[in-house]
Structure 1
């Protein structure tokens, strides 16, 4: 009995944490950087805004499906639980490790980017970038070792500060010389190869910037009332993120035209310099640091939950199920943190990080398919929330996901090949793990 208690996550999280972790794990520096890259590819105000709205609609359709899945199977680890239940052990194993890789790489990336922004504020620390990155990783590791409550408080606090900062930036941009939407700047046919390529590359960046919208599902097992809290938090959090992203893009292009922001490495800084003067870059740097601290806190928690779930299903070591007195899956947290530490030291994670969006979209697509499969396979399974406009909403989600994947394959062949190699290697590894589990 004590062993069972030891390996159980505590039900100590609620609605406010769920909304905070969705916002915290979604809004990062991506929204401060991507508008410049997208402006360089599309060069058309209305097409750019439409792209962000399209991404938001896609996310809302996904929320509709995930609200049913996460309340139907409120288990740690999120997506792979639904895929495993619908399509079997190997599908669960593959999607689980896809999801883990996607979510275990970001902490190292965020620690390094935080260190870069700290150095912008304090140039004398230039030679200590790795030490600063490791300090942030260790600080958040010790914070989460103390328990889930500490991580929850920090998540809620930093997410509120983040939303306030972004809202203030949006208002400041629109106040600047009055609101005036720029005209359409280009009349190229959408179906030109260059525009089509740019559209899918832009969507890949945008979907990547929205990535994190489903993070509530990773904590479903720890929610005090998942049936009520998960659907509410998914919708509220997603709508808030979409509003911030669309309004921020409109605000940026209100201050500077598309052509001026095209290919800017940090569009927010260029806009802030115009609005706030020479202190603009400092203001954006502070916003970026708070955004990153919030997202780092969320991503210190997420991979550990996936690894905990994988361990429980025999897809990782049994010790990965160990939970400390504070409710933290401690071994899973330490393994994930060690992975991040190695990546920070070698600094070669960027290639892996670049195909995170690709992997995420594959997992989402499989999750949507699992919703349809489970409706027919297990119609009597308790469903506290039922997906609205089913099956049409789920079919639209699947078709949109398939369209995105085809577009990503077309515009990002290199990462597609990497994912194929990982998938090819995964099956013999799955068979080996299965054989080992049967012997035990």
Structure 2
């Protein structure tokens, strides 16, 4: 009697794929990063411009990926696109960076964000279990974060249907809650003078630094200094809008992928871009942009919102002190739903690498539910380790530069494949080709140059992580031979 053959099942429709795009993008970032952007740039108009540019960049990249997805509707997505354009070494370095930092680091960070906001309801989670010196502490929050990662991994091993149901439900819930926050925020805020005050000198940019002695140092920005500050702070909004490409990892399980992946990429990124811009308008309608530390919610403003929790401060302005609890619950829903999609999709990338002999062999196997369970558990273990170390935040910062480079490389692959394979089937062609992809490459390239200048340490460490993958690649190739 022959063994039953297991293969990936195409069971996800357009709604599921769009839900994965939007759900993976919306985590906790939109509720936090505007505070750092306010300190970095200090201008209501420039903050909205940065969010708009982020949205346009994300959408233009998604539209370019649509062509690649139509050509290669296979599990692994971006890894497969890079391999076809540049070869196995570069695609492995992408997969290596995704595994060591980008995907697992994001999963860890989102899980810890979930635990942080759960602690609002259950303060016992703040208790430390173990402390070693001043550099390491292990808390109940980390235990909860690892438990959530393991739970969502277990759910995903029980079949694509289990994961997609939770993904759709939680994405729908957080979209509804976000629309409620935006609608109420704009309605209430526009009945005050806050929005008008924030836009009184809307193009006047300044950097605000809180010194150790409690004083504020304010530096006016213009010309090259302004462009440099914008290029550095746009990383906040770019990472809040990241993970949209995760849907390409599960191409092997999407119905009619040649049509549905490009459509889901466009719809998902468009929805999130609109939500993010409207959320920031709501913040600016409810809270003063400038503020002082250690004051009331209003006195702190967006710039010095407690622990950068701009979303919680905005909710407090709408419903009073209970707003903190409302926002904590919303972020718990948001991060839980975000991680179910990140975990689901990441395993498929490592499955594709294993099939090429460039990852642990067992990760290329499917279980009785036709999902790469072992790849999911390897991902789970590393993500939990990052939770344990507490260094996932640093790793994410290091990977920022490398992640942007791989986006540039992937979209550059459009031009290479158009030349190498002019007759290849292209059910969907990149919108605005060649102008939109070229514009994305130029703008993102300038951001990378800006990061090299203004954040040399993290960009350098990001490159080191990528380069460390080279000897690992040759070890896998030697083993394969």
TM-score scaled by structure 1?
Answer: 0.95
Write out aligned runs for 1:84-123 (5 A): 84-100=83-99, 101-123=101-123
* Aligned match of 1:206: 237
Alignment check: 8 A CA contact 1:23 1:159 kept: yes
> 1:177: how far off?
4.7
Conservation of the 8 A alpha-carbon contact between 1:130 and 1:345:
yes
How big is the shift at 1:223? 0.7
Of Structure 1 and Structure 2, which has the larger fraction of its residues in strand?
2
| Higher mean displacement: 112-121 or 128-137 | 128-137
What is the match of residue 9 of structure 1?
8
1:168 equivalent to 2:167? Answer no
Query: Are the counterparts in 2 of residues 112 and 129 from structure 1 also a CA contact under 8 Å?
Result: yes
Using the alignment, how far apart are the partners of 1:95 and 1:108 within structure 2? 19
User: d(CA) in 2 for partners of 1:153 and 1:280?
Assistant: 29
Aligned with 1:146 (options 141, 153, 158): 158
Which runs of 5 or more structure 1 residues have no equivalent in the other structure? none
How far did 1:263 drift?
Answer: 3.8
How far off its partner does 1:192 sit?
4.1
1:187 alignment counterpart: 204
Q: CA deviation at 1:211?
A: 0.3
Partners of 1:350 and 1:389 in 2: CA distance: 36
Alignment check: 8 A CA contact 2:315 2:327 kept: yes
| Secondary structure, counterpart of 1:28 in structure 2 | coil
Measured against aligned partners, the alpha-carbon deviations of 1:165-192 in whole angstroms (never above 9, x if no partner) come to 1000001111115365432345358644
Question: Is the contact between residue 43 and residue 185 of structure 1 (CA under 8 Å) also seen in structure 2?
Answer: no
Match of 2:216 in 1: none
CA drift at 1:2:
6.8
Deviation track 1:136-164 (CA, whole Å, cap 9, x = no partner) reads: 12221221121111000000000000100
Shift of the alpha carbon at 1:70?
Answer: 0.9
Contact preservation (8 Å) 2:28, 2:110? no
- Aligned 8 A contact 1:204 1:408 in 2: no
In the alignment, the residues of structure 2 paired with residue 426 and residue 339 of structure 1 have an alpha-carbon distance, to the nearest angstrom, of 16
CA contact (8 A) 1:355 1:415 kept: yes
Counterparts of 1:2 and 1:88, CA distance in 2: 36
SS in 2 for 1:258: coil
Q: Distance in 2 between matches of 1:43 and 1:4?
A: 61
Cα shift at 1:193? 5.0
- Residue in structure 1 matched with residue 302 of structure 2 by the alignment: 261
- C-alpha distance in structure 2 between counterparts of 1:329 and 1:215, whole Å: 16
Q: Distance in 1 between matches of 2:55 and 2:177?
A: 21
Aligned to 1:354: 397
Alignment-derived partner of residue 20 in structure 1: 19
- Post-superposition shift, 1:306? 1.1
Structure 1 distance, partners of 2:91, 2:170, is: 33
How many matched pairs?
A: 437
Aligned partners of 1:432 and 1:322: how far apart in 2? 21
Look up the SS of the partner of 2:320 in the other structure.
helix
Kept in 2: contact 1:79–1:363 (CA 8 A): no
Match of 2:61 in 1: 62
1:228 is matched with which residue: 252, 259, 262? 259
Cα distance between partner residues in 2 of 1:318 and 1:62:
32
CA distance in 2, matches of 1:250, 1:2: 61
Name the structure 1 match of 2:351.
Answer: 308
1:66-88, Cα deviation, whole Å (9 max, x unpaired): 00011111121221211111111
Q: Displacement, 1:436?
A: 1.9
2:30 maps to: 31
> Do 1:104 and 1:336's aligned partners in 2 also have CA atoms closer than 8 Å?
yes
**CA distance in 1: counterparts of 2:418 and 2:258, whole angstroms:** 18
1:198-230 deviations in Å (ceiling 9; x for gaps) = 211221111111101222211111111101211
CA distance in 2, matches of 1:124, 1:391: 55
Aligned positions of 1:118-133 closer than 5 A: 118-127=118-127, 128-133=140-145
Task: Assess, with a 3 A threshold, how the Cα gap between structure 1 residues 394 and 4 changes in structure 2: closer, same or farther.
Answer: farther
* Alpha carbons 1:133, 1:344 under 8 Å: kept: yes
Tell me, in whole angstroms, the C-alpha distance in 2 between the residues paired with 1:315 and 1:394: 29
1:314 aligned counterpart, secondary structure: coil
Question: Which moves more between the two structures, 213-222 or 127-136?
Answer: 127-136
1:276, distance to aligned residue in structure 2 (A): 0.9
Maintained 8 Å contact 1:98/1:363? no
Give the number of the structure whose residues are more often helix, by fraction.
Answer: 1
Compute the displacement of 1:397 (Å): 1.6
Q: Which residue of 2 aligns with 1:248?
A: 279
* Contact preservation (8 Å) 2:157, 2:371: yes
Q: What are structure 2's unaligned runs of at least 5 residues?
A: 128-139, 206-219, 291-300
